[in-house]
Amino acid sequence: MAGDKMLFVIVIGCGRLGANLASGMSAAGHSVVAVDSRQSAFDALDSRFSGYKIEGDATEFAVLQQAKTVSADLVVAVTDNDNVNLMAAQIAATVFKVPRVVARIEDPRKEDIYRALGIETICPATLAGRAFMASLESTPPKGAHNA
Amino acid sequence: MNVLIVGGGKVVYFLCRAFISKGYSLTIVNRDSAECAWLARRLKAVIVHGDGTDLQILEECGAERCDAILAVTGHDQDNLAICQQARIRFNVQRTLAMVNDPDNEEVFRKLGVSAAFSTTRIITSLIEQRTGFEDIINLVPLEEGKVNLTEVVLRDISPVAGRALSDIALPENSLIAIVTRNGSPIIPRGGTVLAAGDRLVVITLPENMGRVIKLLTGGR
């Protein structure tokens, strides 16, 4: 993120990851709106969060309008449903022309389609896979100890 | 024509029955195995059990060979994912989706889906047409929303009541297609004289619709 500039950020999905992101961004001084379809999800936000909470389904256009998506600098779509993330991210990028949109996806096979639609993705499975591979590659073969 | 349909329920069953009678060749994807078995017993179609938003399932269904895909699951986000993958990965020319949120008709079109239909919007519009409380009713959008079909009721104050069509200077790209008077429709010609109480079906492009309505009703 660009230096100390305050951003208007919308976090869609307030689960473990979303709540963490929203709280962290809010603590860093950004203006944050958290969106989740369950009111109880906002319990996961910590005391550092001073933004707005909107209870609503992010696939409902009126909810994205209410969140003022049109003025957002960044939209992060991190619900636990890939297709909800894909839809909210596309609407943010294409209809509301949000300059930066990042979505979390569970299914790595969907990464291509997001890329084709101009949406940045973060896939925990791919990242974890890479980290495991890197860690495995640095493991010395068993025979090395006996050499 | 090869059509791939993703979804379930009676909607899919009756849609497929209609399509099969038109001679289309159908593949249906449904994620409920019992429903797949039920459909398979009743329809002459290829039934695939699986998640239609899954790329691999779409590939197995022969998405790349189909002329159109119809996404009619109960979730807007799934229908969008199906249409986008079909369009981008399998180059399907016609992607159609059913949506719950009426706003998503326009949103989906902006995102590249060929056409989206909201049952809520269709039912609302049908009820308006049947009850006729409104003077101006938007009927169906044609050509992916690039043409409007509108019903206008002429009141006593209408500046065109009592005038022949040939005397009315309609803006370009607009047409009075049907005049319904006392329940009987007329396809009007230049000599047709409009009267208060007439219901007109008007075809316009969206950009001049406002002017046409103003000309016919005198207001708005």
- Reported as a single tens digit per residue, the pLDDT across A58-70 is 999 999 999 999 9
pLDDT of residue A4: 64
Position A29 in a domain: yes
CATH value at residue A12: 3.40.50.720
Asked if A110 and B55 come within 8 Å (Cβ–Cβ), the reply is yes
Nearest CA in chain B to A60: B101
Domain tally, chain A: 1
Residues of A in contact with B101 (CB under 8 A): 59-62
Q: Is residue A2 part of a domain?
A: no
Are B81 and A82 an interchain contact pair (Cβ–Cβ within 8 Å)?
yes
Contact by Cβ (8 Å): A121, A114 = yes
Q: Do A83 and B85 count as a contact with CB atoms less than 8 A apart?
A: no
Fill in the amino acid letter for B81: A
Distance from CA of A87 to the nearest CA of B (A): 6
Whether residue B46 has pLDDT greater than 70? yes
Distance separating alpha carbons of residues A117 and B68, to the nearest angstrom: 21
Is residue A32 within 8 Å of A52, Cβ to Cβ?
A: yes
User: Does the residue A25 lie in any domain?
Assistant: yes
User: What was the pLDDT predicted at A116?
Assistant: 86
**What are residue A75's DSSP bridge partners?**
A10, A101
* A146, part of any domain: no
Q: pLDDT tens-digit profile of A10-37?
A: 999 999 999 999 999 999 999 999 999 9
- What is the residue range of A36's domain? 8-140
pLDDT tens-digit readout, B131-155 = 666 677 777 777 767 888 888 989 8
CA distance B111 to A78: 20
In a domain, A147, yes or no: no
Distance between CA atoms of A64 and A55, rounded to whole angstroms? 11
Mean pLDDT score of chain B, rounded to an integer?
A: 90
Q: Which residue is closest to B85 within chain A, CA to CA?
A: A113
Q: Which domains does chain B have, with CATH numbers?
A: 2-118 (3.40.50.720), 135-217 (3.30.70.1450)
Q: Nearest 5°: phi and psi at A80?
A: -85, 10
pLDDT score of A2 more than 60: no
- A1: in domain: no
Prediction ipTM score: 0.82
Give residue-wise pLDDT tens across range B59-95.
Answer: 999 999 999 999 999 999 999 999 999 999 999 999 9
Contact yes or no for A86 and B84 at CB 8 A: yes
The distance of Cα A55 from the centroid of its chain, to the nearest Å, equals 17
Backbone angles phi and psi of A64, in degrees to 5 = -65, -35
Q: Are B36 and B52 in contact (CB under 8 A)?
A: no
Q: Are A9 and A31 in contact (CB under 8 A)?
A: yes
